[in-house]
Amino acid sequence: MKLLAVMAHPDDAEIWAGGTIAKHIQRGDEVLIVYMTATEDSLRGEEAKKGAAILGAQVLFMGLVDGQVRDTPETSTRMREVLMSSAPDIIVTHWLDDGHADHAATAAVVQRTLPFVMADIGKTVRVWACDTYFSLGPRGPFVPDVYVDVTQQWAIKLAAVRAHQSQHPEGWVTLLERQCGLHAHRATHLVGAGGRFYAEGFRRLIPFGYITPVDYLDS
């Protein structure tokens, strides 16, 4: 299986989906992290490469300016090239209702571009939208419909988060312990299990203009 994480900024992949990425890699899946901002030789790019290496993923940079990610025809064309070349089975990206404009724009580009890519590659691609700051958006809370148990990958996730030293990672660690601990409590397969568990939460995202077959929602 090929997993593609399309995120706005270096460290977004580790923060919101690092355990899931590590879990896929541990089971032998191929994972590519695409960052909309930063370049390979920038400080944040260097940190992103370190974080990806800890997880075991590959990383690609689109080089847009932090704070200026937009859903434009040019960005959509570049995203289509990335999706066509990677032909993923599953995409992890941001929530469309994320309060950070770069995050929401990244999700919008993926959602708008993907139907054309699926038609060209001839397969359904599942899309999971990840959590956000305090699990809150402008119009309400982020409520997952997919939970991934990342308890066994927790140490790897935090090590990858800490690779981004310019972003003051200990604050993120505190937030993640709270949010991922709460997701684990809500996940039915972990409730009552005892001990300390962590889960990452996601919402299924349906690409614009795509007629959803039953197996898309059931996958």
Q: What is the pLDDT of residue 194?
A: 56
Q: What is the pLDDT of residue 196?
A: 78
The model's pTM: 0.92
Contacts of 89 (CB under 8 A, 6+ apart): 1, 2, 3, 123, 125, 126
The amino acid occupying position 31 is V
Question: Which of the residues in the chain have pLDDT under 50?
Answer: 211-219
Q: What is the pLDDT of residue 182?
A: 92
Burial grade of 177 (CB within 10 A; 0-12, 13-18, 19 or more): middle
Q: What is the pLDDT of residue 216?
A: 43
Q: What is the pLDDT of residue 217?
A: 44
Q: What is the pLDDT of residue 212?
A: 47
User: What is the homologous superfamily of the domain 2-207 according to CATH?
Assistant: LmbE-like (3.40.50.10320)
The amino acid occupying position 8 is A
Count CB-CB contacts under 10 A for residue 47. 21
Q: What is the pLDDT of residue 186?
A: 86
- List, for residues 43-85, the tens digit of each pLDDT value: 999 999 999 999 999 999 999 999 999 999 999 999 999 999 9
Residue ranges per structural domain of the chain: 2-207
